[in-house]
C-alpha cells in the first residue's frame, strides 16, 4: 500500500470539489483532488446556469464569453396557467444580468482544469473507499482504489473535504445520515436534436400532470425544463419533490415521455431525435446532511445537501460552499494549536448557516406548500397573470437579490431570510 501526504485531500472533482481545490491551491496549500472517474465525464444536470453560478465561475477566473463556448441567456421563460411569461434576469450589483448554458461534460472538465492550473494535483480514476481515522476518531486522510487495477492507496492529510455527491460515502461513514426532515428531489433529463437549441431564455414549465389508474389527473410538485445547449441540441428534463404522496409512485421516465408528447412535433423532442439515454439523479436539498464539519471532515455541495429547495439548482451552491470551506481550512492551517485550528474549522458550518440557513428554511416551507396540488394550482393560476409579482418570485426562487440596498423586492427577501430560523 502506498501513501501520499498533502495539506488537504478533496474528494470529488465536481463543481464543489474543484472550487474548494482551486481556492485552497490559490492560497498556497498542497492539495490533492481525488476523482473516481476521468475527464471529460458526464453528469446528470439541466446544464442551465443562473447569474449566481456565473458569478461563481468568474470567481474562479473562468472566461465565460461566447468565444469560449458558452451560450448566454437573458432570463427565464415561464409557462403555466395557460400563460407564457419571459422574465429577464434582474440587474443587480451582486450578480451579473445573464445566465449561461454548458453541458456538465464540459463544465466539470473546465473547473477541474482551473484547479489544476492553480496548483492542485488531480488524481483521476481513483475511487475513495472510506475515511482514514486516527485512534481519536479524527479523519486524517482517505483510503482508495486507484486506476483500472484498483490498487489500494492511502492519502493522508490533516483535513479532508468531502465533495463526493449525493451518495456522500465519507459523510455516511461518519454517521452523517440524510435528514428526512429536509426536502429531497429527483431529476431526469435527456438531450434531443432540436431547432430550439439556440434559445436565449431558459424555459420552465410549471404544470406537470400525471394520471392515476382511475384516470384522475393530478398536478405534481416540480417543473419541466427546456434549455438550449447551442450545439444543435436541447437539454430537456423534469424535477419532482418528495413533498407529495405522488413522489414515490411516479414513473419519472414515463412522465417525461408523456410531457414531451404534448409538445409541438416541430420542436423535435421525439425518440428519433434523442441523443443518448435518459438519465436521472437525486437532488439533496436544504442542508439535508449535517453536521457540515466534524472530526476533520468538511462536507461541500451535494454531499452536504446544499441544493436550492426553491428551484433545484445545485452548481452555484456547490461552488460557493467549496470556497467557504477553503477559507476555513486556510485559516485553520495557519494557526499554531489544535484548539485554534478547530475554532477556525467550526466557522465553516456557521458561515453556511449565515449564508443559506434562513433561505433554505423558507425553501423547506415552500416545498411543503407546493406538495399540495391545490396550493400549486392556486399559485400558478393566480401568480402567472401578474408580471410584477413573478419578477419577485424569480428573485426569490433563484436567490438573486442585493442584500444591502437594492429595490423593495430585495429588502423583502432580506427580511424574510433574516427572520427565518437558520438551523
147 and 243 co-located in one domain: no
**Strand 297-299 to 159-162 pairing:** parallel
262 and 308 co-located in one domain: no
Residue 99 forms part of a structural domain: yes
270 and 339 co-located in one domain: no
46 and 146 co-located in one domain: yes
163 and 205 co-located in one domain: no
Q: What is the pLDDT of residues 364-394, one digit of tens each?
A: 999 888 877 777 788 888 788 888 999 999 9
Residue 112 forms part of a structural domain: yes
Q: What is the mean pLDDT of residues 310-339?
A: 97
pTM of the model: 0.95
Concatenated DSSP letters for 45-102? ---EE-HHHHHHHHHTT---SGGGTPEEE-EEEEEETTEEEEEEPP--SSS-S-EEE-
Q: What is the pLDDT of residue 254?
A: 87
Q: What is the pLDDT of residue 246?
A: 65
At which of 283, 309, 341 does a domain end?
Answer: 283
60 and 143 co-located in one domain: yes
Q: What is the pLDDT of residue 372?
A: 75
Nearest to 131, CA basis, from 179, 176, 187, 84: 176
Between the alpha carbon of residue 177 and those of residues 46, 128, 170, 242, 291, the distances in Å are: 26, 18, 11, 17, 10
Q: Which of 74-88, 203-217, 224-238 has the lowest mean pLDDT?
A: 203-217
Q: What is the mean pLDDT of residues 340-364?
A: 96
Enter the DSSP assignment of 266.
G
At which of 327, 357, 387 does a domain end?
Answer: 357
142 and 249 co-located in one domain: no
Q: What is the pLDDT of residue 245?
A: 67
Enter the DSSP assignment of 289.
B
- Is residue 77's pLDDT more than 60? yes
Q: What is the pLDDT of residues 35-59, one digit of tens each?
A: 999 999 888 899 999 999 999 999 9
Nearest to 122, CA basis, from 132, 108, 133, 104: 108
42 and 144 co-located in one domain: yes
- Is residue 3's pLDDT more than 70? no
Residue 88 forms part of a structural domain: no
Residue 82 forms part of a structural domain: no
Q: What is the pLDDT of residue 212?
A: 62
- Is residue 1's pLDDT more than 60? no
Residue 138 forms part of a structural domain: yes
CATH of the domain at 24: 3.50.50.60
261 and 332 co-located in one domain: no
At which of 258, 283, 308 does a domain end?
Answer: 283
Strand locations in 327-379 (E): none
Residue 299 forms part of a structural domain: yes
Residue 85 forms part of a structural domain: no
- Taking residue 27's Cβ as centre, other Cβ atoms within 10 Å add up to 18
Q: What is the pLDDT of residue 18?
A: 98
Q: What is the pLDDT of residues 179-228, one digit of tens each?
A: 989 999 999 999 999 999 999 999 999 888 776 656 667 778 889 999 99
User: How many structural domains comprise the chain?
Assistant: 3
62 and 136 co-located in one domain: yes
Torsions phi, psi for 137 (to 5 deg): 95, -10
pLDDT > 70: percent of the chain: 96
Q: What is the pLDDT of residues 135-152, one digit of tens each?
A: 999 999 999 999 888 999
Q: What is the pLDDT of residue 390?
A: 92
Q: Which domain, by its residues, includes 251?
A: 184-283
Residue 352 forms part of a structural domain: yes
Cell numbers for 46: 439541466
124 and 41 co-located in one domain: yes
Structure-model confidence comparison of residues 172 and 208, the more confident one: 172
143 and 268 co-located in one domain: no
CATH of the domain at 230: 3.30.9.10
Q: Cα–chain-centroid distance for residue 185? A: 12
Cell numbers for 295: 472530526
Q: What is the pLDDT of residue 342?
A: 97
Mean pLDDT over each residue of the chain, to the nearest integer = 92
Amino acid at each position: 500500500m502506498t501513501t501520499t501526504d498533502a495539506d488537504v485531500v478533496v474528494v470529488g472533482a465536481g463543481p464543489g470539489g474543484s472550487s474548494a481545490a482551486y481556492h485552497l491551491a490559490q492560497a498556497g496549500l498542497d492539495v490533492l483532488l481525488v476523482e473516481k472517474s476521468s475527464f471529460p465525464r458526464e453528469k446528470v444536470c439541466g446544464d442551465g446556469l443562473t447569474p449566481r453560478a456565473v458569478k461563481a465561475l468568474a470567481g474562479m477566473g473562468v472566461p465565460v464569453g461566447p468565444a469560449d463556448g458558452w451560450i448566454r441567456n437573458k432570463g427565464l421563460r415561464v409557462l403555466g396557467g395557460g400563460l407564457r411569461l419571459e422574465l429577464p434576469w434582474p440587474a443587480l450589483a451582486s450578480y451579473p444580468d445573464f445566465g449561461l448554458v454548458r453541458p456538465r461534460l464540459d463544465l466539470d472538465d473546465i473547473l477541474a482544469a482551473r484547479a489544476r492550473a492553480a496548483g492542485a494535483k488531480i488524481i483521476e480514476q481513483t475511487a475513495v473507499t472510506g475515511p482514514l481515522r486516527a485512534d481519536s476518531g479524527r479523519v486524517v486522510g482517505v483510503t482508495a482504489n486507484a486506476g483500472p487495477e484498483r490498487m489500494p492507496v492511502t492519502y493522508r492529510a490533516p483535513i479532508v473535504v468531502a465533495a463526493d455527491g449525493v451518495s456522500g460515502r465519507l459523510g455516511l461513514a461518519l454517521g452523517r445520515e440524510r435528514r428526512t426532515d429536509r426536502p429531497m428531489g429527483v431529476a431526469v433529463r435527456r438531450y434531443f436534436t432540436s431547432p430550439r437549441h439556440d434559445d436565449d431564455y431558459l424555459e420552465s414549465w410549471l404544470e406537470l400532470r400525471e394520471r392515476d389508474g382511475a384516470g384522475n389527473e393530478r398536478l405534481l410538485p416540480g417543473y419541466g425544463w427546456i434549455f438550449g445547449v447551442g450545439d444543435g441540441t436541447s437539454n430537456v428534463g423534469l424535477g419532482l419533490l418528495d413533498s407529495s404522496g405522488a413522489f414515490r409512485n411516479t414513473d419519472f421516465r414515463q412522465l417525461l415521455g408523456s410531457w414531451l408528447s404534448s409538445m409541438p412535433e416541430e420542436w423535435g423532442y421525439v425518440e428519433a431525435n434523442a441523443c443518448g439515454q435518459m438519465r436521472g439523479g437525486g437532488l439533496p436539498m436544504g442542508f439535508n446532511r449535517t453536521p457540515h464539519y466534524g472530526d476533520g471532515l468538511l462536507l461541500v455541495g451535494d454531499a452536504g445537501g446544499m441544493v436550492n429547495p426553491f428551484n433545484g439548482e445545485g452548481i452555484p451552491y456547490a461552488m460557493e460552499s467549496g470556497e467557504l470551506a477553503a477559507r476555513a481550512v486556510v485559516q485553520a492551517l495557519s494557526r499554531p494549536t489544535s484548539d485554534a485550528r478547530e475554532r477556525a474549522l467550526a466557522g465553516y458550518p456557521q458561515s453556511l448557516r449565515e449564508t443559506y440557513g434562513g433561505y433554505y428554511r423558507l425553501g423547506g416551507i415552500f416545498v411543503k406548500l407546493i406538495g399540495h396540488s391545490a396550493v400549486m394550482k392556486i399559485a400558478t393560476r393566480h401568480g402567472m397573470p401578474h408580471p410584477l409579482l413573478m419578477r419577485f418570485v424569480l428573485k426569490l426562487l433563484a436567490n438573486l437579490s442585493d442584500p444591502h440596498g437594492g429595490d423593495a423586492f430585495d429588502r423583502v427577501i432580506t427580511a424574510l431570510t433574516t427572520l427565518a430560523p437558520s438551523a
